[in-house]
Amino acid sequence: MLTMLVRSTARCRATHIAAAVFFSLVLFSLETAAVQQRKPLLLPGKQTLFQRVLTHPGARLFASAGDSAPVLNKWIIPFTVFYVYKRASVDGTEWLEVGLSSTGKVDGWIKGTKVSEWRQSLTLKFTERAGRQPVLFFKDMKSLEEVAASASPGKSASQLASQFVGIKSGSIKKPVDFPVLATEPTKEAISRQRFYMMPIFQAVEVFEGVKFLQIASIDPGSGKLPDDFDLRTGIVFVVDTTISMKPYIIRTREAVRKIYDAIDKVGLADKVAFGLVAFRSSTEKTPALGYVSKVLSDFRDGRERAQFERALAGMEEARVSTHSFNEDAFAGLKTALEDLNWDPYQSRLIFLISDAGAIRNDDPYSTTGMNEAEMADMAEAKGVKVFALHLKTPAGRNQKPNNHIFAENQYRVLTRHSDPTIGDLYVPIEASQTEAGVKGFGRVVEGIAGQMVGLVRATAAGERLQMPAQLSSAKGDAAKHAVGKAAILGYAMQLEYLGRRGGVRAPEVVTSWVSDMDLARPDTPTFQVTVLLTKNQLSDLHQRLKTVLDQAQRTKRTGARDFFQSILSAAAQTSRDPARFAKSPDKNLGQLGFLAEFLDDLPYRSSIMRLTEDDWYRLSVG
């Protein structure tokens, strides 16, 4: 009986202990779940979009709301993105409880005056100063609107820019209520080598096609350049060496000899260099071609002209035909961009020379797997301008369908430019008669290269190029038109070089208003819209796109609608909040019912985000 009692007591104690442990675990799991389930505050009127902020210089992280709380981080990197979990007021000042992620982990409290609300992930960078005025940064939207609505916005903007320069130099006293906080440098361009951020906080479309943007801008520091940082120009010929190209190969040799003579004459032998890349087509399909693309010569300046001229002399056309009229021009471009050393050259140019269109990613024998838009992005990332010299021969015209039309559309996309007065760097050369075609081709090459030599000569002499006159929109002499575009490019390249040499910073303003179009020329954009991504977010984007492509392989089972929504979803989420890519990699916003919410109120949309399902189906059918 006693034994039974002891056992019962022991059993009872064990039961109590087990119960206690069980309830402790339950409570612990509930507390853990409460932490895990905590989510950032939603944007007003949204079901899935969280509130986020960007930090200002001088922002600090506190353990709790209030200046007297312990400081967790004395210096937060400017423009750090935080999610907002809670808002509180202490002594009339707003404080935000924030976290770096949206998973429930809170990092601390930040004073509300040290952050700005950020509803998406869009930022700006300056377009090239090829044909526009420097950007003015206004203190408020009203001031910007008054200038834009004036009788002559361009003139008003120029006067304000001149006043600002005088105020900064001390020669002019700053007027009361002067509306301009900062300007883009007037005599130099912000170098592509300098990292700066201009996140968009607010956008208002006041005039059709023109948006006023509230932005912030900070330049985190300056890098030092070598003492011998001189302007050098690198020019690469990427030449189609298939059958029928021999006359143009010979004329290229003559043009190069003339350009070398010109740079020797003005003592710039070490400032201009040439490279040479040849391309054909698939050797898998036609082994006798010998190569798809190859470097015939790395950069050789005037001191090494003999080596380059030997490489030119060794460039010969193929002896067999290729499998398609289109050739693998993108392989040639990719080789030129990746295999040549562009580092010593600040102005960078490629002449793509072909009488045919380019094999793209929809051809089973494409060696790059790329299309013209992707090649354009690759060249832009390298800072290389591509002139497409399209020889319009009878053979191309006689193709069914007309290859001239296909090639022109391709090369206009490949050579696109942000300045609408340039539009693109596509140069059609009429070659119905070989002799006339060779003559026109030579004029174009020598004219464009001559502009680049002039750029180097003027810069070496300390001369500033003047902004070229606007190009005529009327169709005329293709060579003259191409040389005019090269002059505008040369002007922009000199500004870029002077900006790098002078260590020019982006305007250091906290918050200001700008126009996304030039006030003097409303058809000319002042900024390019970009998306801010961390390395991890870029990796997530890669994974999402891989998932989308995998879905494309299953389109017959999942349907074209799902595929379209997956692509649209990826674009929308990247623009809104890239950090949330990894949450549901196998789901798209259309399936979750939130696609419209992600697209609403975005100040800018990519071409994909502007597509409707009907547009998508039409593209698919075409």
What is the CATH classification number for the domain harbouring 346?
3.40.50.410
DSSP structural state of residue 48: S
Which of 117, 141, 174 is the C-terminal boundary of a domain? 117
DSSP structural state of residue 38: -
Q: pLDDT per residue over 77-95, tens digit each?
A: 888 899 999 999 999 999 9
Which of 482, 501, 520 is the C-terminal boundary of a domain? 501
pLDDT of residue 26: 37
Angle, CA 117 vertex, CA 114 and CA 121 arms, to 5°: 120
192 and 249 inside one domain? no
Residue 56 lies in a domain: yes
Sorted by sequence, the CB contacts under 8 Å of residue 318 that are 6+ apart come out as 241, 242, 243, 280, 289, 290
354 and 452 inside one domain? yes
Give the helix/strand (H/E) hosting 427.
strand 426-430
Most confident of 217-221, 313-317, 531-535: 313-317
Whether the per-residue pLDDT at 366 is higher than 80: the answer is yes
Q: What Rg do the C-alpha atoms of the chain give, in angstroms?
A: 30
pLDDT of residue 592: 43
Dihedral sign, CA of 457, 524, 200, 176? positive
Give the helix/strand (H/E) hosting 162.
helix 153-169
Q: How many domains does the chain have?
A: 4
* Alpha-carbon gap, residue 622 to 617, rounded angstroms: 9
Mean pLDDT for 511-520 is 90
Whether the per-residue pLDDT at 24 is higher than 50: the answer is no
Residue type, 170: G
Residue 525's DSSP bridge partners are 517
* 49 confidence band (pLDDT: 50, 70, 90): confident
Most confident of 95-99, 489-493, 494-498: 95-99
pLDDT of residue 10: 41
Weakest-pLDDT range from 9-23, 269-283, 419-433, 467-481: 9-23
490 and 412 inside one domain? yes
First to last CA, the chain: 91
451 and 437 inside one domain? yes
396 and 309 inside one domain? yes
Q: Give me the domain span that covers residue 92.
A: 52-117
* Alpha-carbon gap, residue 111 to 620, rounded angstroms: 51
Residue type, 351: F
282 and 317 inside one domain? yes
The answer for 237, left when phi > 0, alpha when psi is -120 to 50, beta otherwise, is beta
Residue 322 lies in a domain: yes
Which of 117, 146, 162 is the C-terminal boundary of a domain? 117
Weakest-pLDDT range from 11-20, 307-316, 400-409: 11-20
- Characterize the bridge pairing of strands 233-240 and 272-279: parallel
Residue 36 lies in a domain: no
358 and 435 inside one domain? yes
* Alpha-carbon gap, residue 20 to 14, rounded angstroms: 10
Weakest-pLDDT range from 156-160, 438-442, 520-524, 591-595: 591-595
Q: pLDDT per residue over 178-228, tens digit each?
A: 999 888 877 666 655 566 778 888 888 877 778 999 988 765 444 444 445
Residue 42 lies in a domain: no
Percent of the chain with pLDDT over 70: 72
